[in-house]
């Protein structure tokens, strides 16, 4: 790749925008890289952009060079508190598609009220790292199919790990599960981030919902973290997912920050 766009510079030198790879652009002024643009394709096929530039003008120049070459729609994620970055993307034509709240979730059962929450009759909890890979992958495929056939996988948290084609679970050791006689019916993914683990996903098979399985999974995972000396975990929740927000707020979780998913159609 060697697509070049010359633009006016911040000072005496012109800024040259070069597409250095299929998914990468550089803004160079006086032999210095003063900005970078990148694209990545999510497992659901959507293209997400990122631009990191020293100056707003360079951001605009990178956007002007990148956007005409890319198929629409295009997406990006910004911290809602970063007003300057949000404004940059809005100048490029992006609008808000949805908001994700980051929750801080206490683990102490005296705070969450989950200390005496038993699993539903016939359901047992399988600890993080102890779930069998086969049944776990089967449930993951079922859950993903159910999500895709209803709200769509694009409504899941935007910050997901890239995955090879056809691969769902990258690391089964990060999952706990709810099991009954015919297999796993619920799962929770826990990323062991230093000092504050992250609850990446709680999901229950559609025919097993409204039995308290999600709440029991949350009680199980938070209780294990508390016994291990962890005071809080974090979780991202789509603002439109009222059930998930009610689940976390019902155990004393508080909103700590928010991300905006922006789209250019």
Is residue 14 in some structural domain? yes
pLDDT confidence band for 43 (50 / 70 / 90): confident
pLDDT confidence band for 162 (50 / 70 / 90): very low
The number of folded domains in the chain is 2
Q: Are both 177 and 208 inside the same structural domain?
A: yes
Quick one: pLDDT at residue 263? 98
Is residue 167 in some structural domain? yes
Residue that finishes a domain, picked among 82, 99, 116:
99
Query: Tens digits of per-residue pLDDT, 178-231?
Result: 999 999 999 999 987 777 899 988 999 999 999 999 999 999 999 999 999 999
Q: Are both 8 and 114 inside the same structural domain?
A: no
Q: Are both 45 and 140 inside the same structural domain?
A: no
Q: Are both 93 and 109 inside the same structural domain?
A: no
Quick one: pLDDT at residue 195? 75
Contact criterion met (CB below 8 Å) for 187 and 177? yes
Helix/strand number for the chain, H first, E second: 6, 13
Residue that finishes a domain, picked among 99, 125, 160:
99
Percentage above 70 pLDDT, the chain: 89
Q: Are both 132 and 92 inside the same structural domain?
A: no
Give the domain extent around 48: 3-99
pTM for the predicted model, two decimal places: 0.82
28-46 burial, b if ≥16 CB within 10 A, otherwise e? Answer: bbeeeebbbbebeebbeeb
Q: Are both 92 and 189 inside the same structural domain?
A: no
Residue that finishes a domain, picked among 79, 99, 119:
99
- The Cα–Cα gap between 94 and 77 comes to 11
Q: Are both 39 and 167 inside the same structural domain?
A: no
């Amino acid at each position: 790749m060697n697509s070049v766009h010359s633009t006016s510079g911040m000072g005496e030198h012109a800024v040259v925008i070069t597409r250095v790879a299929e998914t990468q652009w550089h803004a160079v002024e006086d032999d210095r890289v003063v900005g970078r643009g990148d694209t990545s394709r999510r497992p659901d096929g959507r293209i997400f952009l990122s631009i990191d530039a020293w100056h707003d003008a360079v951001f605009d120049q990178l956007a002007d060079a990148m956007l005409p070459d890319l198929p629409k729609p295009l997406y990006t994620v910004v911290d809602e508190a970063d007003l300057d970055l949000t404004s940059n993307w809005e100048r490029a034509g992006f609008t808000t598609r949805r908001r994700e709240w980051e929750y801080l979730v206490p683990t102490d059962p005296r705070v969450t009220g989950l200390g005496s929450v038993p699993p539903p009759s016939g359901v047992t909890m399988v600890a993080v790292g102890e779930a069998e890979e086969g049944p776990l992958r089967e449930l993951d495929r079922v859950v993903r199919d159910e999500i895709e056939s209803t709200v769509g996988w694009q409504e899941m948290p935007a910050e997901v790990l890239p995955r090879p084609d056809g691969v769902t679970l990258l690391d089964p050791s990060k999952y706990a599960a709810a099991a009954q006689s015919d297999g796993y019916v619920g799962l929770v993914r826990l990323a062991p981030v230093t000092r504050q683990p992250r609850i990446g996903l709680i999901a229950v098979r559609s025919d097993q919902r409204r039995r308290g399985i999600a709440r029991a999974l949350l009680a199980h995972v938070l209780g294990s973290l508390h016994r291990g000396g962890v005071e809080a975990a974090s979780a991202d929740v789509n603002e439109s997912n009222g059930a998930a927000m009610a689940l976390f707020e019902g155990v004393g979780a508080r909103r700590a920050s928010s991300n905006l998913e922006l789209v250019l159609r």
